[in-house]
Structure 1
Amino acid sequence: MNEPICTFFQDACNRLDDKTEKDAAMQEASAIRFDPQLRLAFTTILIYCRPADPLAFWYKHNLELCRDIMVRDKVTELNPQTENQVLMELQDKK
């Protein structure tokens, strides 16, 4: 039996109970969300689902979270400056 579709992303996050589900949610979100929306999804998962290892969760998804800034700045590889810019933006969302 399938779970009903959630109306809000926060409701979906509340259903996530393990690391695999949180990672799957971020992968799905990165396929359909862009730029600030993806970072908002990441922040929502951090706040409401509380991954056991937030730093590992960041490193697993930081490339997707930084991609729009990399494109804007015409950078081909992830660098600390871009990561810091995204981390400051994530901090502002909390």
Structure 2
Amino acid sequence: MALKTSKWDSAEHLQTKEDIALYLEACLDEAGDDAAFITKALGNVARAKGMAQLAIDTGLGRESLYKSLSGDGNPSFTTIVKVLHSLGMRLHIEPIPEVA
């Protein structure tokens, strides 16, 4: 019997602010310096919350958000901050532990 699989869409599982925060934190840890990975993760969260509503909340165009938050997009820092704020998130900076 053949194994049946289905495509995983993380956006389907991001329902609470806590889910979103944990997902984005895990993606930041995984991404290293891969900005496209982080942008795509933010796009997944945006899709989970609804791109049309996000466009209204940020004052940015829906199509522009889709493009900016794809893995191929290159959003400005202003766009990232607006999106995070509209999602009820904020950036948190902490020092990287030094490796002995």
**TM-score of the aligned structures, taking structure 2 as reference length:** 0.41
Kindly name which structure, 1 or 2, has the bigger radius of gyration based on alpha carbons. Answer: 2
- Structure showing the higher helix proportion among its residues: 1
